[in-house]
Each structure stands twice: as C-alpha cells, then as structure tokens.
Amino acid sequence: RIGINLVAVKKAESYVTDHLPARVSIPPQQARVLSAPRGGLVTAMTAAESDEVQAGDVLAHIESPGLVGLQRELLQAATQLRLAQAEFDRNEQLRKTKTVSERVYLESRSAFDEAAALVDERRQVLLLAGMTPEAIKDLEQARRMGSTLEVRSPIDGVVVEVPAVLGERVDDSEPLYRIAQLEPLWLEISAPLDRLQGVQPGGAVEIPCDVGEARIDLIGRNVDPANQTVLVRAEVKGAGTCLRPGQFVEVRLQLSSTEEQFRVPSSAITRIGDTPMVFVHEAAGFAPVSVKIIA
C-alpha cells in the first residue's frame, strides 16, 4: 500500500565509471615533421591543412643558393674519382708486367678509394639536402646544376599543421609541414586516483560515437599533483571523423573485478548515517544490509 517495489538482484560482471574527461591525440609514431633540408626561399606550397597526401608527393619548392655549392662539390669529387680510377687502372696493368713498384700501385689504389669515398659522401649530403637519387644521377650524367629543392611527403597521411608561409625565407631544418596518419588515435583520459580499481589493460572504453572501438592500452604510473588524476590511455580504431586530434570528449571506462558484485536500481540505495544500505526482502519482513557502492 505504500508503494514498495521488489526487484531481483542481478550479478554484475562489469560496470562503468562516471564520465571522465579525455583528449584525442595522435600516436607519435604516426606523425612526421617535414622540415627544410636547406635554407632558402619557399617559392611554392602545394598542400594546406587537412589535405590528404601520399608518400612521395611534392609539397613545397625551396629556392636554395647553397644547393648549387653542394652540387658543384659532387661534380668536382666525381672528376677527381675519374682521374684516380684512370691512374689506378694504369698502375694495375703496369704492376702485372712489373713496370711499376708495389708502393706506387698501393698509393694509386689508396687515392682511388679516398676519391670514391668522397663521392659517396657528397651524394649523401645531397640526399640529406632533399635531392632524390634519380636527380643526383641526372646531375652526374648531364652536369647541369639547379637551385630548386623539392620537399616530398615521407608518408601517406593528413596535413595537421603548416608552420611555413609561402614567400618567406627558412633556415636549415625549419619545420614546413606536420603530417600524420589518423588511424588509430589515442584517448588520453584523466582518471581520478580513487577510481582506478578495476581498470585493466584491454578494458573497453565507451566513446561518444556510433562507430569505432576503444580499449585501454596503458595505465600511467605518475599522479598529477594538481588534480590527483592518473593518465589512462586508450587506442581508438574505426572512429572515422567522429573523433579529431585535439578534441576534448567525455568517456566512461568499463571496469571488471574478481570480487562478487551486484547491480541494483539507484533508488534501492538508502543511507543510515554514513552507511549505504539496501533492504532485503525476507520471510519475516525487510532486513537492512550495508553495501559498498562501487559505481
């Protein structure tokens, strides 16, 4: 007559936390910073923020006077290598007829090895300066020097940042683009220290998306002294455009425990003093039983 409802107690294998703040980020191994291999003037930029790019795409042109000097050094080294090789080949033939001494032969061989090493070094410098192996080969064959560098994307991905400005001068190694692959993403969750019970690697995370799956892959060891929270990191796959890098969202962690747990309606919880209680229906009436609220 006073409206008491009876509900069967259900065993709970898992439960979820309250909503927790999380930031969407890009795993560092999926990001690349594309920098200027040599200082110069940015004369062209072919990609903007949020553009999709493919590995090998030319994203910028840099007019670099210093590139001409590097190319000249390679051509000079290649000339010295040809002379050293001719001298070495000549002495090698004369050595067979004992017309030249062993010392002269070894000196010519050493000079040839040094010249070859210098050419390899100059090629590596041009590779680091942004020239492709094909362009270096054409330079050695045609001996035509140029001052324009092509900056190419190292990976397939999306442009997430463009620090450079068209028409400005950049220094060596100055950032031009930041490119990243956006699948999968990370959720960096701030979990209160007293809510970590039941948090396990591999546990599911409820995200505000109709698609995608998120699972915990790291539980931090450090506590933020400002708010007493611990970093819980989850990897998100298949979320598409629902989650974007830099976005703040609210998530819930699905927790599990080896202890016996039960699920009851929140309206069944009452308090006697500071102790949470539920009333259990028995043959003789109702008995108050103290409980521990997990979630």
pLDDT per residue over 9-48, tens digit each? Answer: 888 777 788 899 999 999 999 999 999 988 899 999 999 9
Going residue by residue through the chain (295 aa), what tens digit of pLDDT does each one get?
888 899 998 887 777 888 999 999 999 999 999 999 888 999 999 999 999 999 999 999 999 988 888 999 999 999 999 999 999 999 988 888 888 888 898 999 999 999 999 999 999 999 888 888 888 999 999 988 988 888 999 999 999 999 999 999 999 889 999 999 999 999 999 999 888 877 889 989 999 998 999 999 999 999 999 999 999 999 999 998 899 999 999 999 987 766 788 889 989 999 999 999 999 999 999 999 999 887 7
For 290, the token pair is 């103290």
26/5 Cα distance (integer angstroms) = 50
* Six-digit token string for 248: 């703040």
Q: What angle do CA 55, 119, 79 make, to 5 degrees?
A: 125
Chain centroid to Cα 89, Å, comes to: 51
pLDDT of residue 129: 83
Contacts with 184 (C-beta within 8 Å, 6 or more apart), sequence order: 27, 235, 236, 237
**Single pTM value for the model:** 0.70
pLDDT of residue 118: 95
CA nearest to 69, candidates 40, 34, 35, 36: 40
Written in H, E and C, the secondary structure of 141-203 is HHCCCCCEEEEECCCCEEEEECCCCCCCEECCCCEEEEEECCCCEEEEEEEEHHHCCCCCCCC
Q: What is the pLDDT of residue 122?
A: 93
Q: What is the pLDDT of residue 257?
A: 66
pLDDT in tens, 212-255: 999 999 999 999 999 999 999 999 999 988 999 999 999 999 87
Give the closest residue to 230 by CA, choosing from 252, 199, 184: 199
State how far the alpha carbon of 181 is from the alpha carbons of 53, 172, 234, 240, in Å: 10, 25, 17, 12
**Ordered strands of the 31-35 beta sheet:** 31-35, 175-180, 157-161, 52-53
Nearest one of 249, 255, 158, 180 to 209, comparing CA atoms: 249
CA 266 to chain centre: 43
